[in-house]
Amino acid sequence: MSIYSDAIELQKEIAKNVIAKDTLHNKIEYICGIDVSYKKNAAYCSAVIMNKNTLELIESVNAKSAVKYPYIPGLFILRESEPILTTLKLLKNQFDLLLIDGHGVLHPRKCGLASYIGVLIDKPTIGVAKSLLCGSIKKDQFIEYDATVLGFTIKKADKKQIYVSIGHNISLTTAIQIIKNLIKNEEWVPEPLRIADLNSKNHLNFDQDD
């Protein structure tokens, strides 16, 4: 079997282990956002931890790695899981919830990047994507695929929108509420992911090795 068919089978197995309910007994206080930017054959990954209520930046880390796989819709895990897992290990502070720029269960195999990472690290994880991979948006903004509600659309006044789905260890209702509360009035992406995205792009732009 090829690496791609192996990855597809892995996604199907991981999907069976996704917990789609709230498992945190304590209050969510610290949220980690992580994102990856690319330049030539290098991946620049940045993670930030922020206070959920004040949006104070607690910690920020960056890591550069080689790109091993091309971008393949539905198989984001091949391209981004290694940079993300490597960068998360650099964090010195603990976090309660992880936000990933990608889909969770809103995926043809119910296992996008957010679910894959969430199950691997066994932490509450939410997928926040900027483009729709599958499913149809209903009038109430929920997204349905294969006759099942798997996500929710949050649309801003300027027509930009994001697609929220369960990664792992959280309910969709909780995920939606948390993401809504993390988006500043003038923005359209939750703040931990917005800062992680900016940091990864800055890391890319300031790298002198290429």
Residue 190, SS3 per DSSP: coil
Residue pLDDT, tens place only, 43-95: 999 999 999 999 999 999 999 999 988 888 889 899 999 999 999 999 999 99
Beta bridge pairs of residue 42 = 39, 66
pLDDT of residue 156: 79
Helix, strand, coil share of the chain (percent; to 5): 30, 30, 40
Q: Is the dihedral of CA 128, 133, 138, 139 positive or negative?
A: positive
pLDDT of residue 205: 76
Any idea where the domains of the chain sit in the sequence? 3-206
H-type helices in 61-134, by residue range? 76-88, 113-121
pTM listed for this prediction: 0.94
N residues, the chain: 210
pLDDT tens, the chain, 210 aa long: 588 899 999 999 999 999 999 987 678 999 999 999 999 899 999 999 999 999 999 999 999 999 988 888 889 899 999 999 999 999 999 999 999 999 999 999 999 999 999 999 999 999 999 999 999 999 999 999 999 999 999 997 676 899 999 999 999 999 999 999 999 988 999 999 999 999 999 887 777 554
DSSP 81: H
Residue 8, SS3 per DSSP: helix
Question: 3-206 belongs to which CATH class?
Answer: alpha beta
pLDDT of residue 158: 74
Contact in structure between 114 and 102 (CB atoms under 8 Å): yes
CA distance 104 to 164: 8
Residue with tokens 């500043």: 184
**Following DSSP, what letter does each residue of 128-186 receive, concatenated?**
EESS--S-EE-TTSEEEETTEEEEEEEE-TTS-EEEEEEEESS-HHHHHHHHHHHS-TT
